[in-house]
A and B are shown apart, each in its own frame.
Chain A
Amino acid sequence: MTISEYFELLFTDYTLRTITLGTAVLGAICGMLGSFAVLRKESLLGDAISHAALPGIALAFLITGAKDTNVLLIGALVSGLIGTFWIRGMTTKTHLKSDTALGLVLSLFFGFGMLLLTFIQKQPNANQAGLDKYLFGQAATLVEKDVTLMVIVTGICLFIVLLFWKEFKILLFDADYTKTLGFNTRFIDILITFFIVLAIVLGLQTVGVVLMSAMLLAPAAAARQWTNKLGVMIFLAAVFGAFSGVFGTAISASQNNLSTGPVIVLVAAVFVVFSFIFSPGRGLLFRQIRFRQNRRDLQLKKTLQFMYGIAKTHENVSHPHAIRILNNFQGFTKKTLQQLEEKDWITLSGQQWALTNEGFSEAKNLYNQQENHE
């Protein structure tokens, strides 16, 4: 199947439509909430929580004995939340740093989850197969019910974000100020954390434990490069996330043996790399261009300054001088002289240059600024 066939089939094939819709919605919600995670400098929380959800899934299965997705997700949600609050507890109550706390919760919960999973596998219960899809994720197992759930959660989440927009925003950028204004910061904090955990848990089935963190981070990190506005960033992140989902599904459907999760993550990574390089404000490419421009500008002004030093000893500022006498100043080329002429700072005639009045006052101001600075 080629990619164009995929897009044709998208509107007729039920499975393909469900999966595409599912990954798109997932990408959108992850992008939206991931923006908060990135800005709160809790990027790796997603990684820790997605691993920490595993014992919850296994325990939920052990207790209920049923493989109902919703029950397993509730289990995942509970153990994810426990993990999150333990991380908080560790960093506030002991001298362990957040990286250690994250790593501990991640690996210890996951190990415990593995113990439970292997324990379940040895149980005489034929129903246990398929629990390990939460490890690596299988978008192909998405059914309409799962997608409906995702859409509902995304709706609620969007509603809450809009409702608490002001509170979320102010807590994000100035937590202390929020407290002094009398907001219940603890409540807002728990609310936003809860939704981040919820988004992660929803994504487990599709992209799996390991890749979930990238799903959360990558769209947000890409969106961050294009804007300094929270609203725009969240919107962009949701769009990037949704597109990663759709393109990832398309590419993986068009080839054999390509699991969806990794492809989605790689598509998201492409978005990130593109944004890093080409975003106009912060991107590496434009930064380099700006850097060069500034350097050239500086060089030009240095030349002008040198000329000013010569010209000010004469009564007539526009008295012509030979280009030759600039030779003991190395910072000029023919091109810079031309550029200076274009700016009407000097006039060139043959082997002679002369400052214009404009150039003289420009250079003088430059000098003044320097003097004031010192």
Chain B
Amino acid sequence: MNSPQIEIQIIAAVVAMACAIPGVFLVLRKMALISDAISHSILPGIVVGFFITQDLNSPLLILLAAITGVITVILVEAIQKTGLVKEDTAIGLVFPALFSIGVIMIAKNANDVHLDVDAVLLGELAFAPFDRLLMSGVDMGPKSLWIMGSVLLVTLVLLFLFFKELKVSTFDAGLSSALGISPIIMHYGLMSVSSVTVVGAFDAVGAILVVALMIAPAATAYLLTSDLKKMLGLSIIFGVFSAIAGYWLAHWLDASISGSMTTVLGLVFLSVYLFAPNKGLLSVLYRQKQQRTEVSLLTFLLHLNNHTEENERHINHLNEHINWQKVRSKTVLDLALKNNMIIIEKDIVFLTEKGSEFTQQALEYILTNKDDKIEHMKDDFFLFRG
């Protein structure tokens, strides 16, 4: 590993951290797509800034572009407030228009400036170490590291200072205004921070992949925990891990660093999406299947409870009368047997004492219809789950 390689990884990690923190709040506030809108609509801001400063890393350019980002948010909200279109339509109208203006501005001045849309949209991390900050002749390291480092620092300071306020206004806007914390100020504060982060990061990872770095770690963490602090921590870990793993993937494939960072993020998200313990796809599907079987069991027990006639309780009757498939009836019957709810004598099914007690309580549950009761009941009665 040589020194530009180390620097690239440090920059990538810092960008990932700086993006993950506002990303968590955007995801929780259901505003994830605002980051997409901002990342596109800062283009005219960047172009104007570039005309003035002629330097992609100048603070003025970042400021101008960030202001464009906030303007985007204000525009979206203004359009939404007219009630003519829904919020998502408003977002979808504003950012392509602003982006188009940016593209046209670049195209009209293509001969004078060294700035193209590819560079803004896609970024190139590999070049970041070569743009160095010189202070009175002394090499202070890559410029983008300084920029993203300060963005990260500011974000962290704001996070620690306003953690409580952010938390309240994110989860309960009503309570927060009752407590005297203006949700509007929090909203625009978050929007400004996101804007600055997007602008700071676009140079390194490109405008579109900033969106991935903001949303993906937060969404991944959200599938694993419902604790805000843990979610913040996890998304930073996922972000940094993907940044560094992505760098090495790009190194190996000789492909775009930002692309492979996103790919790693995607893989991490996909595996969590599939395998997360409580909220992952597999466990959701498993739970749904379990519940389906358990509801069937309940129906079956109620049926037994209602009928004393032997032909209604014959083991083959399940198939015919309740209209279940063979496999399903067998699963239900096995489950009932395993849990000592029924006994079978000469192919006739009888409720055991435990079975009828369960059925009584289940009936009561159905009548009162209180959701919390049923899980509790299942814990009491079931030795084996469906």
Contacts and interface: CB of A to CB of B under 8 A. Distances in A.
Interface of A: 38, 41-44, 46-47, 51, 89-90, 93-97, 99-100, 102-104, 106-119, 122, 132, 135-136, 210-211, 213-214, 216-218, 221, 224-225, 257-259, 261-263, 265-266, 269, 272, 276, 282, 284
Nearest to A55: B263
B198 to A, nearest CB: 12
Contacts of A97: 30, 32
Contacts of A99: 30-33, 88
A225 B36 contact: no
A115 B212 CA distance: 14
Contact of A114 (B262, B279, B280, B284): B262
B262 A217 contact: no
Nearest to B261: A111
Contact of B284 (A94, A122, A225): A94
Nearest to A287: B82
B279 A214 contact: no
A342 B145 CA distance: 75
Given A103-B33, A104-B215, 16 more contacts: A94-B273, A94-B280, A95-B222, A96-B222, A100-B218, A102-B33, A111-B258, A210-B99, A210-B121, A211-B96, A213-B96, A214-B96, A259-B107, A262-B101, A263-B104, A266-B101
B287 to A, nearest CB: 11
A221 B89 contact: yes
Contact of A224 (B36, B85, B103, B209): B85
A104 B31 CA distance: 12
A118 B259 contact: yes
Contacts of B92: 43-44, 46-47, 213-214, 216-217
A43 B86 contact: yes
Contacts of B269: 104, 108
B277 to A, nearest CB: 13
Contacts, number: 200
Interface of B: 27, 30-33, 35-36, 40, 79, 82, 84-86, 88-89, 91-93, 96-97, 99-101, 103-104, 107-108, 110, 117-118, 121-122, 206, 208-209, 211-212, 214-216, 218-219, 222-223, 250, 253-256, 258-263, 265-266, 269, 273, 279-281, 284-285
A107 B216 contact: yes
7 tightest A-B CB contacts, nearest first: A111-B262, A214-B96, A115-B259, A107-B212, A114-B259, A262-B100, A108-B266
A7 to B, nearest CB: 22
28 contacts: A43-B89, A43-B91, A44-B91, A93-B285, A95-B279, A96-B27, A97-B30, A99-B30, A100-B218, A103-B214, A107-B208, A107-B215, A111-B258, A111-B266, A114-B258, A114-B262, A115-B255, A135-B121, A211-B96, A221-B89, A224-B84, A257-B110, A258-B107, A262-B104, A266-B101, A269-B93, A269-B100, A276-B82
